[in-house]
A = this chain, B = another copy of it.
Amino acid sequence: MKKSKRRGRNAVTMHEVAEHAGVSPMTVSRVISGDANVKPETRKRVDAAIKHFGYSPNVAARNLARAASVHIGLLYNNPSAAYMNELLVGVLEHSRKAGCQILLEKCGPRGERAAVEKLMADGVGGIILPPPLSDSRVAIDALKSRDIPFVAVATGRLEGNGLAVRIDDFEAAASMTRHLIALGHRRIGFIRGAPNQHASAERYAGYKAALTEAQLPLRAEWVKQGSFTYRSGLLPSEQLLTAPERPSAIFASNDDMAAAAVSVAHRLNLDVPSQLSIVGFDDTPLATSIWPALTTVLQPVAEMARLAMELLLLEIHERREGRTLGPRQQIMKFEIVKRDSTAAAV
């Protein structure tokens, strides 16, 4: 009774599991952390005991004992709430498994350096860099000069021996363009993403490549600049749709801008998709919440975030041993999701 005063709800500890399995706590610890040197039979007994009690290790104790970095920084300034939301879900999901803390740090357009400093001061062991920060020179330099591990999400470039998780933006954009071409579209407008992000260039390059491949001319007046926000998609869309020879399809570099294109099309009395096809990129929740639902490129953001966490934690562990994962990038599979915003060209 005296003890229970000091103890949480989860009364079952490693010792009890060990006792039940007839081994020492140390062996249980080994089984849990997947150590190799445990006899298969012993392992089985321990596993049974674990299941018997529904035991799950105490994260705080583990972290304390390991002197593990419990803290992962997540720098953000992504304008798309939908994207951020998915990212957060992925990150949190993994943090739950890994038992680590997420320190969210918002950073203004010029505040990258300060934000990094702040996270460092709070003792993070590594940092996750979602777009558009994953392309920020300042942020990356600040991180590198501190020699703190980080993983870039959805960036196109991999520098030094950094870590990155991304999809093949070039191929994805090319695929989507091919899809439009296959639908009979010959006049395909393109709204580019923010110029400071590598993915923007990749997507544009993919679009160009697919056009060339189909021997369609690249018409400069059908390519407009946006910056990944809904708002930034409005003017380009209007320009494209009020041009003397207007495109029969618009490929926006992300869903937010595609949504803007839909809104402009409606304002101009153009029906989507019968008179105009519109496609986006990312497959954020926005794509399915508007009407008509967007045909878009599914980028498994949550999955990518999860992987980013995994990679980062691995690297932190390696670093502690004086090693490093070295340059490593994980390319995820994308998918063309066909919905209601596309139809055969008239």
Query: What number of copies of this chain does the assembly contain?
Result: 2
Interchain CB contact under 8 A, A7 and B85: no
Interchain CB contact (< 8 A) of A81 among B230, B260, B286: B286
A145 at the interface (CB under 8 A from B): no
Docked Cα-Cα span, A267 to B267, in Å, equals 4
User: Contacts A9-B125, A122-B56, A269-B269 known; A289 to B95 CB distance under 8 Å?
Assistant: no
List residues 143-166 of chain A with CB under 8 A from any CB of chain B. Answer: none
Interchain CB contact under 8 A, B92 and A85: no
A256 at the interface (CB under 8 A from B): yes
User: Contacts A56-B123, A123-B56, A263-B266 known; A289 to B231 CB distance under 8 Å?
Assistant: yes
Interchain CB contact under 8 A, A289 and B60: no
A121 at the interface (CB under 8 A from B): yes
A284 at the interface (CB under 8 A from B): yes
Beta-carbon nearest neighbor of A266 in chain B: B267
Interchain CB contact under 8 A, A289 and B85: no
- The residues of B that contact A63 with a CB separation of less than 8 Å are 60
Interchain CB contact under 8 A, A67 and B6: yes
List residues 231-260 of chain A with CB under 8 A from any CB of chain B. Answer: 231, 234, 256, 260
A102 at the interface (CB under 8 A from B): yes
Interchain CB contact under 8 A, B70 and A123: no
Docked Cα-Cα span, A89 to B93, in Å, equals 15
- The residues of B that contact A125 with a CB separation of less than 8 Å are 9
Docked Cα-Cα span, A341 to B239, in Å, equals 23
Interchain CB contact under 8 A, A7 and B289: no
Docked Cα-Cα span, A70 to B56, in Å, equals 14
